[in-house]
Structure 1
Amino acid sequence: MSAKHFDVVVIGSGPGGEGAAMKLVKSGKRVAVIEAHDMVGGGCTHWGTIPSKALRHNIQLLRDYRRNPLFQHTHDQVQVEYSDLLKAAGKVINQQVRSRLRHYARNRIDVIHGRAGFIDTHRIEIVQPSGVSEEITAEHFVIATGSRPYQPADIDFNHPRILDSDSVLRLDTTPDSITIYGAGVIGCEYASIFCNLDVKVNLVNTRDRLLSFLDDEITDALSYHLRNQGTVIRHDEVYEQVEAVDDGVVLHCKSGKKFKTDYLLWANGRSGNTENMGLDEIGVAVNHRGQIEIDKTYATSLPHIYAVGDVVGPPALASASYDQGRFVGAQIATGSADWQLIDDFPTGIYTLPEISSIGRTERELTASKVPYEVGQASFRTIARAQITDHEVGMLKLLFHRETLEILGIHCFGEQASEIVHIGQAIMAQQGEANSLLYFAETTFNYPTMAEAYRVAALNGLNRIF
């Protein structure tokens, strides 16, 4: 029996794979999507973006409730456990899965569940969970297999008290204490979640400050508020040993410090999902972190095989991965893409309060000797923030002193990841259309958080005129 043949096979159904598959099928290609797990959506839906952000949202609701004087008399009647939050996140995950399944069915995309491995450069074998295997062939392939938490060989991740960002979603109890090793995006987000459940949190950072790719003023604010919520932050620490005992886990650091807590959450690095795919055998280059090496068109060392999303490394964002998939789909379908992926994409970090930014930081502009100025709006002066009782935060606009071009937008506070998109739209304009004057001269709905742009713009203009 001959193998089924497709124009394109997409391996992985996360944002990158979905973006590629939808673009290709809309272009008239016959497409199959291979998914190793029993439900579509990839790590983004099941272990990453969706569950962690759903957890964060419900923690925010709980925090708002506790702070609201209208409900002060009922505070003691509400007890929320970590497992309750996971159940709420599960509802969102199921909704996302059903929605994506409808998209695939409506567009007549074959979804095949099983693990894919290359037999040769145009043929793959898919081993289904039952053990049954089948072979399919294709003219082009898109690898979008995502990533998984990096697990050092000297740490026993089979121990029930040692967690990573996947297994923490199976935790069935609310710990009294937890040590989070790694203070990147994932580590900071989970620190926010646990400390607002009244869990004692140690956040152990291998660097000298949190999230050093962000604006310094923003990371200083994040550090302050995490500490204010009860998180103990330890900078410049490197682990030497992880010791699991009956009643907890001890993290031994090279500095001599020891942290003993109920659980350890390892949140330090990720590896590409490329093992046992036969990539080395067919000549697709993979680096030491399991990430596929690509050129500027996202083609691998074999020109008919592309790779997108977390499996190729940074920026490892669901939003960017989806765009990469669509970009590759256009190239396969037409030989070229009729648009370019943007250089500046927004970063959203769902701590409490959340963070979002786009463009350059003050540190980068100073190093480049760009004559810039700053316009700021404190949320405590914004009527909408006062109404919603989310007065912690600020919007910061960096702009060129002479041309008034917007160079960077940095936001800290509730709805930061939504607020940043207003500025992103103006930053994307060419020439004089990208100007601080737009915000100073535009009428915003009142009261809204968007009004912060007008306040920040006027604040900035006052600094130079």
Structure 2
Amino acid sequence: MAVYQYDVVVIGTGPAGESAALNAAKKGKRVAVVESRGVVGGNCTHMGTIPSKALRHAVKQIIEFNTNPMFRDIGEPRWFSFPRVLKRAEQVIAKQVQMRTNFYARNRIDVFFGSARFQDANTVQVKGNAGKGDEVLQADSFVLATGSRPFCPDDIDFRHPRIYNSDSILKLSHTPRTIIIYGAGVIGCEYASIFSGLGVKVDLIDTRDRLLSFLDYQISDALSYHLRNNGVVIRHSEQYASVKGSDTGVVMTLKSGKKIRADAFLWCNGRTGNTDDMGLEDIGLQPNSRGQVEVDEHYRTTVPGIYAVGDVIGWPSLASAAYDQGRSATSDMLNALDFRYINEVPTGIYTIPEISSVGKTEEELTAAKIPYEVGQAFFKDTARAQITGEQVGMVKILFHRETLALLGIHCFGDQASEIVHIGQAIMRQEGEANTLEYFVNTTFNYPTMAEAYRVAAMNGLNRIFNIS
């Protein structure tokens, strides 16, 4: 059994693991990564962010073609199957794997494919894939970046060919006419948009009383409206009693007594950290009931020299945050000056239309008794949106009534996840640079979507002037 010595070993090659490994290597350390798949990229590349967003983009293009009157001169509306659309995602995944494989090669990071299990706090054994022999890696420090997988309750038979979770749905080989999506979190809402965009009738079961309650209420309401407008039936405050599959469909019985039937069922309710069979308990690490590892504000676990980052530590469970967490963990590990705790993360939700926000919501500011005002601009009133035909959505700015400091940016509509970064950049400035006046006193290209910030800022100032 071969034994290898390293300064840092990273387990997992998703965004968190990749950035941790690259940062340590660029700081002069000898680094190895362990990946349980046969290729790098982690769940983000193969099962989560990349395939779902590629799917969403393709569906959005189909919707545009089928609803834009200009395209009727070319031909009649077209129907596309789920497997056909999925091929686009597979092309993107292949490009991502090639690019990320090159990252490790260029930075001289050794990659081991197999399952890692701790023998002690400084040693992991890698059980190789495809019958390859075991290898032992020893290091002063380790980073756990193993990601997460869908939480699947035992009372639902996920082996049934009509019952899926948010990973296995990417193996769907046909397009159902109807589907039940259980769980109306970010993943559930995104897939509701994707399937409804393909003409599938969707029942979206929400265990809470409103969609994505962490969002600003106006944005959450807008999402509910547009999902319903696309034919999605949203059922709030419901819990499942049973899910039974047959040769002809799936029947879900709710605790409220309702029974819903569909051709397929998609479970999108919670995720579990990938910490099984890693021997963590043997070295003094005890994951919680959802397989997550507890860390402090430097991403250190309770075992010296072992860090954890990304989905395996829970909130915020975003690829963007995971990448920064990985880099910060190895910076702390190596006593570098560029460490920062990741606590200001923009939300990006790739529904149709998409959503993004950063900072406080109206509810949070009201509860904190902070005197705020609202400035808003609707895309339908901007020239660029009228030109592109993407007129659904808005930019909403929350700011302090007295200092004009920016408190929150909320965006709904086409390219929302891009547009929000303008507001985020200004919010991070110090002093007078972080005020509503920046948008008023800055000349934006015309016509652009960014111009919505100026319109929203003027709208907000007018509210103050009218009161004062």
- Report the TM-score range of the alignment, normalised by the length of the smaller protein: over 0.9
Alignment of 1:42-53 (within 5 A): 42-53=42-53
After TM superposition, give the deviation of residue 2 of structure 1 in Å.
6.0
Task: Write out per-residue CA displacement over residues 151-190 of structure 1, whole angstroms, 9 at most, x where no aligned residue.
Answer: 0011110111000000000001010000000000000000
Alpha-carbon separation, structure 1, partners of 2:453 and 2:341? 26
Secondary structure in structure 2 of the residue aligned to 1:114: strand
The letter of the residue matching 1:46 is H
Task: Write out per-residue CA displacement over residues 333-370 of structure 1, whole angstroms, 9 at most, x where no aligned residue.
Answer: 2x254342343211000000000000000000000000
Secondary structure in structure 1 of the residue aligned to 2:143: strand
Q: Which runs of 5+ in 1 are unaligned?
A: none
Alignment of 1:199-278 (within 5 A): 199-278=200-279
The letter of the residue matching 1:401 is R
Q: Is the 8 A contact 1:202 1:232 kept in 2?
A: yes
After TM superposition, give the deviation of residue 331 of structure 1 in Å.
1.3
- State the match for 2:330 in structure 1: 329
Identity %: 61
Q: Is the 8 A contact 2:2 2:135 kept in 1?
A: no
Q: Is the 8 A contact 1:327 1:337 kept in 2?
A: no
Instruction: Report whether the alignment pairs 1:180 with 2:181.
Output: yes
Alpha-carbon separation, structure 2, partners of 1:52 and 1:337? 36
Alpha-carbon separation, structure 2, partners of 1:337 and 1:357? 29
Alpha-carbon separation, structure 1, partners of 2:30 and 2:364? 46
Tell me: CA distance 1:75–1:202, structure 2 relative to 1, closer, same or farther (3 Å).
Answer: farther
Alignment of 1:120-199 (within 5 A): 120-131=120-131, 132-199=133-200
Task: Write out per-residue CA displacement over residues 128-167 of structure 1, whole angstroms, 9 at most, x where no aligned residue.
Answer: 1123211111110000000000000111101110000000
After TM superposition, give the deviation of residue 296 of structure 1 in Å.
1.1
- State the match for 2:320 in structure 1: 319
Task: Write out per-residue CA displacement over residues 285-311 of structure 1, whole angstroms, 9 at most, x where no aligned residue.
Answer: 311100011111111110200000000
Instruction: Report whether the alignment pairs 1:305 with 2:306.
Output: yes
Alignment of 1:87-98 (within 5 A): 87-98=87-98
Length-normalised TM-score, structure 2: 0.98
Alpha-carbon separation, structure 2, partners of 1:44 and 1:402? 43
Alignment of 1:387-406 (within 5 A): 387-406=387-406
- State the match for 2:288 in structure 1: 287
Q: Is the 8 A contact 1:285 1:300 kept in 2?
A: no
Aligned residues: 464
Alpha-carbon separation, structure 2, partners of 1:84 and 1:441? 48
Q: Which runs of 5+ in 2 are unaligned?
A: none
Tell me: CA distance 1:200–1:77, structure 2 relative to 1, closer, same or farther (3 Å).
Answer: closer
Alpha-carbon separation, structure 1, partners of 2:110 and 2:375? 51
- State the match for 2:441 in structure 1: 441
Secondary structure in structure 1 of the residue aligned to 2:449: coil
Length-normalised TM-score, structure 1: 0.98
The letter of the residue matching 1:332 is M
Alpha-carbon separation, structure 2, partners of 1:301 and 1:390? 50
Alignment of 1:402-421 (within 5 A): 402-421=402-421
Alpha-carbon separation, structure 1, partners of 2:237 and 2:75? 38
Alpha-carbon separation, structure 2, partners of 1:253 and 1:2? 54
Instruction: Report whether the alignment pairs 1:361 with 2:367.
Output: no
Alpha-carbon separation, structure 1, partners of 2:75 and 2:159? 38
- State the match for 1:428 in structure 2: 428
- State the match for 1:16 in structure 2: 16
Task: Write out per-residue CA displacement over residues 434-463 of structure 1, whole angstroms, 9 at most, x where no aligned residue.
Answer: 000000110001110000000000000000
Q: Is the 8 A contact 2:114 2:128 kept in 1?
A: yes
The letter of the residue matching 2:218 is E
Secondary structure in structure 2 of the residue aligned to 1:341: coil
Alpha-carbon separation, structure 2, partners of 1:187 and 1:284? 32
The letter of the residue matching 1:54 is A
Displaced runs of 4+ in structure 1, greater than 4 A? Answer: none
Alpha-carbon separation, structure 1, partners of 2:442 and 2:317? 35
The letter of the residue matching 1:359 is G
Alpha-carbon separation, structure 2, partners of 1:204 and 1:113? 38
Secondary structure in structure 2 of the residue aligned to 1:130: helix
Q: Is the 8 A contact 2:193 2:227 kept in 1?
A: yes
The letter of the residue matching 2:255 is K
Tell me: CA distance 1:52–1:421, structure 2 relative to 1, closer, same or farther (3 Å).
Answer: same
Alpha-carbon separation, structure 1, partners of 2:217 and 2:329? 35
Q: Is the 8 A contact 2:165 2:266 kept in 1?
A: yes
Q: Is the 8 A contact 2:331 2:339 kept in 1?
A: no
Alpha-carbon separation, structure 2, partners of 1:422 and 1:450? 8
Q: Report the RMSD for the aligned CA atoms in angstroms.
A: 1.0
After TM superposition, give the deviation of residue 74 of structure 1 in Å.
4.4
